[in-house]
Amino acid sequence: MSVLVEVCVDTAEGLAEAIRGGAGRIELCAGLDLGGLTPSVGMMRRAAGAGVPIFAMIRPRAGNFVWSPDEIALMEADIEAAHRAGMQGVVLGASRPDGRLDTDVLGLLIGRAAGMGLTLHRCFDLVPDPATALEQAIDLGFDRILTSGGALTAPAGAARLQQLMRQAQDRIIIMPGAGISAETIGALRHLPLREIHASCSVAVMSSGPLVEFGFAARVGRRTDGARLRDLRAALAEGVTE
């Protein structure tokens, strides 16, 4: 069984690169340099029918995952828009002020996503008790948890990822993400990987008036199909199945 590679993209060009590179699923975002925000309806419609499952990030702003009532209402509307646009799933997360999963908000959002695939995003990496949060995610009905194992990168969090996979068994997919590339995948080879998440991107430098006027970041990211192909080749060399 091969390992599915999910690629996060935030532009039409990035989407095309990921498809050409062999992505098994797309996490569609805006603001990828901020960890991913909700994509526009136009972008979701553009991505629909791309030939692979498309999951839309539902996150109305950067920063923490403690949502106000107005933000929760926005997320409910965005989930409905994603469904109408033809997205196969959504990527959700909500935290209480102490970092625990906000199961009340998540239950409400999941109710709006009836019939769609469900990924719990990396708000999971902020929880004080990952074992308890994993059981909550299962009870809520999530299909998978995107996590770095609580570390800054998945390779650095490999030990925790292994613990989570043992606890999860076949009840939910633990999908490592953050800092995964052809160069780093070796640190995860001993894990029973089913899916991984990566940006497969390269840095893009900007300068001049676009940066000075605040229209562009000095350092951005661009999806690179070659990096995805390299990652898939590295996986094929012997990740434990």
Fold topology of 4-200+226-236? TIM Barrel (3.20.20)
User: For residue range 31-70, what is the model confidence (pLDDT) as tens digits?
Assistant: 888 889 999 999 999 999 899 999 999 999 999 999 999 9
Containing H/E element for 34? none
Residue 210 pLDDT level (bands cut at 50, 70, 90) = confident
Q: Is the pLDDT score of 241 beyond 50? A: no
Residue 238: its pLDDT value, please? 63
For residue 218, the model assigns a pLDDT of: 74
What's the whole-number mean pLDDT along residues 97-125? 97
**What pLDDT sits at residue 169?**
95
C-beta of residue 51 within 8 angstroms of C-beta of residue 86: no
Q: Where are the domains of the chain?
A: 4-200+226-236
Residue 119 has, within 13 A of its CA and on its CB side, a CA count of 29
Q: Whole-prediction pTM value?
A: 0.93
Residue range 119-175, pLDDT digits in tens: 999 999 999 999 999 999 999 999 999 999 999 999 999 999 999 999 999 999 999
116-134: b (≥16 Cβ within 10 Å) or e: bbbbbbbbbbbbeebeebb
Please report the pLDDT score of residue 17 as a whole number: 94
Q: What percent of the chain has pLDDT over 90?
A: 83
For residue 213, name the pLDDT band (cuts at 50, 70, 90).
confident
- What's the pLDDT score for residue 240? 40
Please, which residues have CB within 8 angstroms of residue 40's CB and are 6 or more apart in sequence?
A: 30
